[in-house]
Amino acid sequence: MRVDIGIACNKNQEKEWWARLVPELLRVAAEGKVELGQFIAVGSALTDHNRNHIVGHFLEGEAEAIWWIDDDVVPPSGTLEALVGLEVDIAAGVYFLRKPPCNPVVYARLEGGLYRPLWEYQQGEIIRADSVGMGCTLIRRCVYERIREEYAVFRRVRNGTVVLVHREDVVETRMVARQVRRQAGKVLKRPGERGSAWLLEELVGPVEPPEVWPFYALEYGRTEDHYFCEMARRVGFEIVVDTGIECAHWGCQPVTGKSFREMREWHKQEAGSLKAIQ
């Protein structure tokens, strides 16, 4: 399998990060179990913009998959071979928030559209998730191609930006309305509902797709990762996570699986203390 490397940069990288990433890529290339294609890095303050342009370059090439690595995530040696070996269309390793509660950037979707991190798993399990960060994620070409097949591009009346709408949600060929509700800083999207808390957005289209598709979008306080994962799951793809792949998440200090487990134990102890008081 030929795999492109995609790195969406939004800041200056630590030299220690490069010092750990480059030898791993050289090892992969030397051993030849996975063929490396393009190394695509795009940098700006807008992570979604960076990812979209990287996907554009990827889809113009011939690689079968793209391995996303964030510019502050260091995967352990052998990660790429392990992700390819899962033989699924979306495969991810685990990395953790850099500050408490240090939860895995792996999520389950709750009823109503919010997300909660997955805490309770045994290290090394292969699990399913509803959403993951793109910090260490392998995605095959067919995922983006199917999104292109099943989604139409519309343009917002309000500001002229483009948005993808699944073809099953289109109520007219020229205009479609989506409802967006804000609640406690989060956003839930449900077509067809009305109420004082709902903001109506009018979209015109379908329009000619832009050269760079909005597979990723930072909108309404939601990350571009959730945006993409929702579309991928809508068109029929599962997200598989190898929890044995624990990446370091670099900040002032790396956050690892050890950080997560220590924080999980702390939460359990605190919960036990509260029960004892009650």
Q: Which two tokens stand for residue 171?
A: 């109520």
Helix (H) / strand (E) element for 183: namely: strand 175-183
In a shared domain, residues 18 and 139: yes
SS3 content of the chain, % helix, strand, coil (to 5): 30, 35, 35
In a shared domain, residues 64 and 98: yes
In a shared domain, residues 71 and 89: yes
Q: What is the pLDDT of residues 80-90, one digit of tens each?
A: 999 999 999 99
Q: How wide is the angle at C-alpha 240 spanned by C-alphas 70 and 143, nearest 5°?
A: 75
Q: What is the pLDDT of residues 260-273, one digit of tens each?
A: 888 888 777 766 65
In the chain, how many domains are there? 2
Boundary residue ending a domain (204, 230, 247): 204
Instruction: Give the span between the Cα atoms of 273 and 278, in whole angstroms.
Output: 9
In a shared domain, residues 39 and 172: no
φ/ψ (deg, to 5) at 153: -95, 125
Helix (H) / strand (E) element for 207: namely: none
What is the DSSP-derived secondary structure letter of residue 210?
P
Asked, for residue 192, whether it belongs to a domain, the answer is: yes
- pLDDT at res. 177: 61
The enclosing domain of 97 has a CATH number of 3.90.550.40
Give the 3-state secondary structure of residue 198: strand
State the pLDDT confidence band at 53, using cuts at 50, 70 and 90. Answer: very high
Place of tokens 């190394």: 39
Q: What is the pLDDT of residues 173-201, one digit of tens each?
A: 666 666 554 443 333 344 444 333 345 57
- The span from the first CA to the last CA of the chain, in angstroms, equals 57
Q: What is the pLDDT of residues 125-150, one digit of tens each?
A: 999 999 999 999 999 999 999 999 99
Give the 3-state secondary structure of residue 191: coil
Give the 3-state secondary structure of residue 224: helix
In a shared domain, residues 138 and 257: yes
Reference 140, options 39, 33, 58, 241; nearest CA is 58
Asked, for residue 209, whether it belongs to a domain, the answer is: no
What mean pLDDT is reported for the chain? 86
Total number of residues shown for the chain: 278
Helix (H) / strand (E) element for 117: namely: strand 115-117
118: domain range?
Answer: 2-145+222-268
- pLDDT at res. 54: 97
Place of tokens 């052998």: 78
Say if residues 228 and 164 touch (Cβ distance below 8 Å): no
- pLDDT at res. 49: 93
Task: Give the bridge partners for 156, in sequence order.
Answer: 203
What is the DSSP-derived secondary structure letter of residue 7?
E
